[in-house]
């Protein structure tokens, strides 16, 4: 089994593929509730519990690499630092609990590996989402009462892209 994670301090997307590349699990884990999860350590404990509840033995673990640089209008230094710390904590949990070293994939590289083409000016996250909706029959999209995509759904699609890119890399190297 291959697991792909899109780790965030608010919502973490999770996808599990079998060794044939078939999606057997695609969900998101919501850690936005500040009363229930007041620190990143509380969030990490929750994510650890959810990972250990999965009934799969993972051969490979792929994690979306956290952002490494600033972009105008995006996250602050504090946000990037917190996200990197959380990404590191969850990566360590994966290594410790599954005895597998997580492999980091940049979102842009993962999209290319899966065959998602993002032209200049297009939003990569939206293109990824559209691709997953069109190419993964088991992917479930939920909408708010106003017709918007519910929070967490884009994270599910991002984790699918990471898992599928990891699967494709394994297949190219005959590691599945």
Segments in the chain below pLDDT 70? 67-75, 175-176
pLDDT tens profile 45-85? 999 999 999 999 999 999 999 755 445 455 577 777 888 99
Query: Domain total for the chain?
Result: 1
Distance in angstroms (rounded) separating the CA atoms of residues 32 and 35: 9
Q: What are phi and psi of 115, to 5 degrees?
A: 105, 20
Let me know: does 162 contact 105? Beta carbons within 8 Å.
yes
| CATH assignment of the domain containing 38 | 3.30.420.10
Is 101:95 a contact under the CB 8 Å cutoff? yes
pLDDT in the model for residue 174:
73
Range of the structural domain that residue 12 is part of: 2-172
Rounded alpha-carbon distances, angstroms, from residue 159 to 29, 46, 60, 76: 12, 18, 14, 23
């Amino acid at each position: 089994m291959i697991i792909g994670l899109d780790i965030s301090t608010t919502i973490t997307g999770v996808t599990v593929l079998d060794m044939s590349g078939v999606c057997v699990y695609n969900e998101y884990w919501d850690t936005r509730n500040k009363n229930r999860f007041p620190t990143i350590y509380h969030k990490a404990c929750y994510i650890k519990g959810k990972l250990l509840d999965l009934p799969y033995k993972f051969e490979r673990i792929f994690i979306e690499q956290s952002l490494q640089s600033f972009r105008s209008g995006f996250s602050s230094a504090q946000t990037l630092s917190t996200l990197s710390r959380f990404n590191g904590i969850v990566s360590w949990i994966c290594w410790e609990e599954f005895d597998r070293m997580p492999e980091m994939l940049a979102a842009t590289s993962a999209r290319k590996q899966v065959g998602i083409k993002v032209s200049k000016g297009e939003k990569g996250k939206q293109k990824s989402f559209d691709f997953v909706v069109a190419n993964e029959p088991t992917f479930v999209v939920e909408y708010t009462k106003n017709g918007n995509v519910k929070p967490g759904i884009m994270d599910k699609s991002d984790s699918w892209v990471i898992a599928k890119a990891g699967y494709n890399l394994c297949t190219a190297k005959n590691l599945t």
